[in-house]
Structure 1
Amino acid sequence: MKIVAVKPHVVTEKLKTTFGMSQWQWESRASCLVEIVTDEGIVGWGECFGPAQGARALIDSVFAPLLAGADPFEHVALWESMYNRSREWGRAGVPIAAISGVEIALWDVIGKALGQPVHRLLGGRAPDAFHAYASAFYYGGDWQDDLEAEARSLLDQGYRHVKMKVGADLRADIERVHRVRAALGPGVLLAADANRGYTTAEARLFARETEAASLWFFEEPVIPEDLAGYRELRASVAVPIAGGESMFTRWGFAEMVETRAVDLLQPDATACGGLRETLLVAGLASVHGIPTLPHVWGSAITVAAGLHLATALPVVTPSLGRAAPVIELDQAPNSFRGTLSDLAIGPVMTVPQGPGLGIEIDRTVIEAYRA
């Protein structure tokens, strides 16, 4: 089998309602989807995290020519070739995200060629179902103004794991956390994500002022480059500290993991290098006693890849009471999450059992939103 085409597709959606994180507002959603076509007619799909146009440019000009005529089963060697080629643009950020999308598409091709779901190829064991945690309570927009109403909606849908946005205004954020905790009740796990919006001192104050809310974890409290700040914070507060979505490849994660800067690691397979790279990062973290809970934020392709990945994550410390990983499920507007494929998305999800990623892509959605 040979690769005959690597096609990046950029899709863009202008949102009717904006939503915000600690440092910016989103007025649109865009994604770079990767399609790999083989000479046997097998098509695989992947997705790149981050700036879609940049990923498309690199795939078109650099990685597609590199993969032309290659055997997709040599995906490890192909990854190494792309990674070595990326040195001219940097081995972090958009180049690695572009490689990630290609790598996921290669897994989809291989699974379809073998008639096996990706989780079987990864050696994972699929549970009956995975619970999802709702990544919700964004800033701004009419649909997020009433925290209590949003909490009721999530509860009515069946979510029992929730993450909320903080990091924009310290005092207001503390109040928001207590409001959301009261609205959700004590039986729901609640995490907070600052999207690197605080200084270390602000993050410490936030953690201490929200201790009564019994947060599940506190994500990206400070900028990802400030690993000393991560370690200082982790040593001074009770809430588990999480991070890693802004890191790339096992080399980029090494210091964060080896210095135990976090309690919970959050690599994103569509950003950090792909499925295999995420498992390598998770294996490194397990050596240092750090569990991995991958970041998932994209279309149905990303969600499907996250479900397969979750089946093969290393268990840091076996325990009879240890629960399966919980899959992140973004609640902000995104047509590519719900309509791009036939994947059933909700508070409880099953791992697709069809070959490859196990989902069917609706090309009419790609054409409707093509940039």
Structure 2
Amino acid sequence: MSRITKLRTIRIAERPNLIWVEVETDEGLMGLGETFRGAQAVEAVIHEQIAPQILGSDARQVEAISRQLHTPYVGFQGASAEIRAASAIDLALWDIKGKRHGIPVHEAMGGANRLEIQAYNTCAGYSYNSNNVARRVIGQQDAPQGPYDDQLAFNTDAGRLATSLIEEGYRAMKIWPFDVFAAATGGQNISLVDLKRGLEPFRKIREAVGDNIEVMCELHSLWGALPAERICRALEDYGVFWVEDPINKMHDVEALADLRSRVRVPICGSETLSGTTQFRELMAANAVDVVMLDLAWCGGLTEARKIAAIAESHRRALAPHDCTGPITLMAGLHLALHASTAIYQEVVRATLSTWYRDLVTELPVIERGMVKAPVLPGLGTALRSEVKLRADATLRESA
């Protein structure tokens, strides 16, 4: 038996949405998990609800613990603190599993289908999505914070941005130039003028680099069905690889399937969903072409590998999400290497080059746009020791 003896959470004020959990066992192993958004709420769930349930449990029983934590009486949707907390615990248990056997998690799951996978760069900036305030509109008036301020770049010179990505070996990128126009109507309409403005970055990319880079369009679940269809139809001429989360309720599979039947661009979804049931319904309705999932939100690796199996049975491509934290990225990479229909791993070069590396000991190795398989046991990384010693760190333990 490998008895769980302690749960420890760590969060820092500089990144108020991020929280890490360390799970310790009586065999001297420690696993690291992570989740994102509402860190204080997740902290409370871990110590006040989860700790009494799993302290003393056998850490080897990952499936049983996942099933126990993934079915709370309330809060079972992906948006809940309960599922985010359960996801973080699950990632830590898989980290322990790999370390116990001295193998990477992708091997612990049954082995890799590939030892590298293509990356696409989400064109976010250095501080994108890193605090509790709404995403600010980025525009011409902003000054770049560094060479990889890619959100500013796609709003100002998308052609040059695409060229820089190709020079580094990336062959795919994701942008979201329509977001700024949603607020005017609550996402219920988009004018022809705004539509054409939103199309400008795609035009500039094709003008600069032709068809030498794939371009994904993120719509962030901001739109009603009518404007989503108008945007998707307009994007057909630019050969976008997918349109992601086009409608404002991605669990509405009927509306999403209807949209997919009306347009010729592939539809991707959704990082906002949780658990096998929601994803099964999404695929059964033929509502998506590409399955996007976030391992820190959907239930962890245990639930994610089941979702990946459903995607395989429906012959749907898989693409793990990352725009939140380094542990989620590492976990998503292990799944992307293992899952048979995975085609991409999302990365953000701005965060990889700055604050991700300040938090953890190891990050994915990317060479000419390909992400290499981690070789260290478990998830293959750990929090840097100085993170817990920071003046803005909050640590809490249950034992």
1:39 aligned onto 2:26: yes
Alpha-carbon separation, structure 1, partners of 2:253 and 2:270: 11
1:210 aligned onto 2:235: yes
Q: Partner letter of residue 275 of structure 2?
A: T
Query: Contact between 2:75 and 2:83, CA under 8 Å: does it hold in 1?
Result: no
Query: Contact between 1:352 and 1:359, CA under 8 Å: does it hold in 2?
Result: no
State the match for 2:393 in structure 1. 370
SS in 2 for 1:47: strand
Give the drift of 1:232.
Answer: 1.8
Give the drift of 1:148.
Answer: 3.5
State the match for 2:78 in structure 1. 92
Query: Contact between 2:362 and 2:380, CA under 8 Å: does it hold in 1?
Result: no
Alignment of 1:248-259 (within 5 A): 248-259=274-285
Query: Contact between 1:32 and 1:56, CA under 8 Å: does it hold in 2?
Result: yes
SS in 1 for 2:338: coil
Alpha-carbon separation, structure 1, partners of 2:109 and 2:316: 21
Alpha-carbon separation, structure 2, partners of 1:367 and 1:175: 46
**Structure 1: 4+ residue segments shifted above 4 A:** 331-336
Alpha-carbon separation, structure 1, partners of 2:233 and 2:370: 32
1:327 aligned onto 2:327: no
Give the drift of 1:206.
Answer: 1.4
State the match for 1:342 in structure 2. 362
SS in 1 for 2:68: helix
Residues 87 and 330 of structure 1, relative CA distance in 2, 3 Å threshold? farther
SS in 1 for 2:281: helix
SS in 2 for 1:266: strand
Alignment of 1:232-271 (within 5 A): 232-271=258-297
Q: Partner letter of residue 95 of structure 2?
A: D
Alpha-carbon separation, structure 1, partners of 2:177 and 2:261: 21
Q: TM-score, normalised by structure 2?
A: 0.81
Query: Contact between 1:49 and 1:298, CA under 8 Å: does it hold in 2?
Result: yes
1:131 aligned onto 2:142: no
| Offset from partner CA, 1:191-242 (integer Å, 9 cap, x none) | 1001012222212221222222100111001121332331122111111001
Residues 349 and 304 of structure 1, relative CA distance in 2, 3 Å threshold? same
| Offset from partner CA, 1:296-338 (integer Å, 9 cap, x none) | 22222112111111122134xxxxxxxx622100245575422
Percent identical residues: 28
Alpha-carbon separation, structure 2, partners of 1:332 and 1:54: 28
Give the drift of 1:29.
Answer: 5.9
State the match for 1:16 in structure 2. none
Query: Contact between 2:119 and 2:344, CA under 8 Å: does it hold in 1?
Result: yes
Alignment of 1:158-173 (within 5 A): 158-168=169-179, 169=181, 170-171=194-195, 172-173=197-198
Alpha-carbon separation, structure 1, partners of 2:233 and 2:75: 41
Q: Partner letter of residue 105 of structure 1?
A: A
Q: Name the stretch that deviates more: 92-101 or 280-289.
A: 280-289
Query: Contact between 1:167 and 1:195, CA under 8 Å: does it hold in 2?
Result: no
Alignment of 1:276-355 (within 5 A): 276-315=302-341, 325-331=343-349, 333=351, 335-339=354-358, 340-346=360-366, 347-355=369-377
Structure 2 residue runs without a partner (length 5+) = 126-136, 145-151, 182-193, 395-399
Give the drift of 1:186.
Answer: 1.1
SS in 2 for 1:142: coil
Residues 333 and 293 of structure 1, relative CA distance in 2, 3 Å threshold? closer
Alignment of 1:107-256 (within 5 A): 107-125=94-112, 127-136=114-123, 139-140=137-138, 141-143=142-144, 144=152, 145-168=156-179, 169=181, 170-171=194-195, 172-223=197-248, 224-256=250-282
1:56 aligned onto 2:43: yes
Alpha-carbon separation, structure 2, partners of 1:267 and 1:214: 23
The Cα RMSD (Å) is 2.2
Query: Contact between 2:16 and 2:39, CA under 8 Å: does it hold in 1?
Result: no
Residues 8 and 182 of structure 1, relative CA distance in 2, 3 Å threshold? farther
Q: Name the stretch that deviates more: 355-364 or 93-102.
A: 355-364
Q: TM-score, normalised by structure 1?
A: 0.87
- Provide the aligned length of Structure 1 versus Structure 2: 348
Q: Name the stretch that deviates more: 337-346 or 75-84.
A: 337-346
Give the drift of 1:150.
Answer: 2.8
Q: Name the stretch that deviates more: 289-298 or 146-155.
A: 146-155
